Structures are given as structure tokens and as C-alpha cells.
Amino acid sequence: MMRTLLLSLLAVFFALPAHADEVRLKNGDRITGVATSLAGGTLTFKATGGELKIAWADVASLAIDQPMLVTVGTAVPASATFAAADANGQVTLVPGGPVALTEIVALARPQPAWVITGGGGAGIVQTAGNTQVNNVRLSGDVVARGAADRYTVSAIATHANDNGLESARNWSLTGKYDRFLTSRLFANANANFTNDRFRDIDLRTALGAGLGYQILQTARVNLTADAGMAWVDENFASIADDSYAAAHESAGLQVQLVPDRVQAFHQHDGYFGVSGGNKMFIRTQNGVRLGLAAGFVTTIQEDVDYDRRPSPGRRQTDRTFSLTLGYRF
């Protein structure tokens, strides 16, 4: 009986109609899928075989069952659905009423007020016996993008012990705010906080502002850069504290080598002292992120920190190589 009930439920489930739009062409073809947009006289329609570009003049009827922003003539876009056109080529907007299909000049899927993306990861190495190593690396980032605003926060923390001796302990926190003045040009405010015991840095604070430009943003490539001025305040463990004005520049690049599977990325921030001596420090992050399944990823990353004038006895360059498992959303 249980088996019969389960089969009945499955039959009902698969018999339920899936949400789908339908376009009928003037040559009699019918295509089901999802209407993505109508712009410049071209309807973009996602079907089973892939994305189609259809001349609006070739469309005899279109039905959409999920709300879209519909532009009729010169009117303001309004959210509505509509069924297939009647024999006179009219559709009934809900809400809105009947209009000729030819009067519809644009369709667009509503965009959320905010789009939030990001993720986190952890890498752990622990051994016991003749070799005793305990390494932990945690990282996370979040980007919140609105119509004209973008907030970015990222953090990394590393701690390592080798045979009972601490060999690494550091963390960094970066925050950025971008206010878009045009579709590409934005004003930028940024803050960077760093602590690193083995580089003698109790706390380095860098606060800056400037202008940036969204150079490229496509489904596969995202390239952005900004530059401006900053104030740097450095608190050290063994030498006198220092502060100075600096020129600041930053750039970020993400490339989808294989969409949803392999992503290469680069990020760097540079601060070049313009007062208080010949100071400069640069941090770069380069890596490859491999998609696993259900949002889980593994990341191979190299961080390079360069300080032109480090504390006495410290080297100018620090490198960190990490392999972490994480989740992206």
C-alpha cells in the first residue's frame, strides 16, 4: 500500500505543470522556456537548447506566467503577467488590461534591491608524533550591491604552531564602500586593518578615499580599479609608532575560466607614502577557485605582503600559500 501511495504521489508531482513561458512565432513554431528580456526589437528567450535571440517582429504571441517589467509605448515600466495573444494580437496585462502585442517595446525581469554574494573557507593542517604541526587559516568575504551602492568586506586570519613553537599569528580586515556616480565611475572610501606579530605590527590602520572605475563586468570577467589618498597609522611592538599620508591604489580581477567550475582571481592594495619618509607597503592575493558541488569550493591561493621599510630584523617580503575548503553563495 505504501508503495502504491508513493507511486501515486510521484505521478501527481510529475504531472504538475512547471512554470514556463511560451512564445509562438509567425511561422507556426512554438517554444517553451523563460522570457529573459525584450530590448531593441529583440526578444531573449531561454529554451531547452540554449538562449535564443528572436526578432520581435517575428513573434505572433507570447505568454509569461511570472511578473516582468513591461513597457508599453512611452509609459513607465510596470510589473505584470499576460497570457497568449488572442486572434487580434492583443494580450491582457495583469494588472493593466488589454494592449496590442506590438505596443510592448521592452520586457525585463525585476532585479532585487540588493544582490549579496560572498563566501568563507578554512584550511587546517594538524600532525602529531615526531612532527607536530598545527596550522589554521580562516577567510571570508561579502559583497552587497545595490542600484548605486556597493559594500565589500573581507577578512583573513592565520595561526600556526610548529613543534610547540608559534610560527605565525596574523589577521587582516578590509572594508570598501563604492558609490556609483555613473554606470562605471564611482567614489570610493576604504579601510584596512592589519595585525601581524611576526612582522612586529600591533595594528596598522589605513583609511582612504578616492575614485574608481568598473572597467569590465561581464558574465566571465570582472575588472575594477580605484585610486586616491589615504592616512596610515602604524603601531609597532618593538619600535616607535608612526603615521603618514599615502597615495593608495587598488585593483581586482575575477575571470571565469570555466563558468561555475574554475575561477582565477587577483586582488591588490598598494599604499605609497607621500609624507614621513620613503614608506610603502603592498598586499596581493592571487589564486584559483575550483567549484565542487552545491556551492562548495576549494581555493588555492598565494598572498604576498611587501613592506619597503619593515621593523629592524624583519624581512621586506612575506609569502603565504594556502589550500582551503569553503562555500560560496
Cβ proximity of 33 and 18 under 8 Å = no
Position 6 confidence tier, pLDDT thresholds 50, 70, 90: very low
Residue 14's pLDDT is 41
Residue 275's pLDDT is 86
**Which is it for the CA torsion 254, 256, 259, 261, positive or negative?**
negative
Position 12 confidence tier, pLDDT thresholds 50, 70, 90: very low
Task: Check pLDDT > 60 for residue 3.
Answer: no
Is residue 85 classed as helix, strand or coil in its secondary structure?
coil
Cβ proximity of 177 and 150 under 8 Å = yes
Residue 20's pLDDT is 84
Please compute the mean of the pLDDT values over residues 183-187 and round it to a whole number.
Answer: 94
Cβ proximity of 263 and 280 under 8 Å = no
Domains and CATH numbers, the chain: 2-108 (2.30.30.100), 115-328 (2.40.160.40)
Tell me how far apart the alpha carbons of residues 53 and 61 are, in angstroms, rounded to a whole number: 15
Cβ proximity of 252 and 269 under 8 Å = no
Residue 15's pLDDT is 40
Share of the chain above pLDDT 90, in %: 77
pLDDT in tens, 156-180: 999 998 888 888 899 999 999 999 9
Tell me how far apart the alpha carbons of residues 196 and 134 are, in angstroms, rounded to a whole number: 18
pLDDT in tens, 220-248: 999 999 999 999 999 999 999 999 999 99
Greater pLDDT, 128 or 29:
29
Residue 126's pLDDT is 64
Greater pLDDT, 19 or 146:
146
Residue 133's pLDDT is 67
Position 19 confidence tier, pLDDT thresholds 50, 70, 90: low
pTM: 0.70
Residue 227's CB: how many other CB atoms inside 10 A? 16
Task: Check pLDDT > 60 for residue 194.
Answer: yes
Mean pLDDT of the chain: 90
pLDDT in tens, 48-72: 888 899 999 999 999 998 999 999 9
Residue 280's pLDDT is 95
Greater pLDDT, 199 or 276:
199
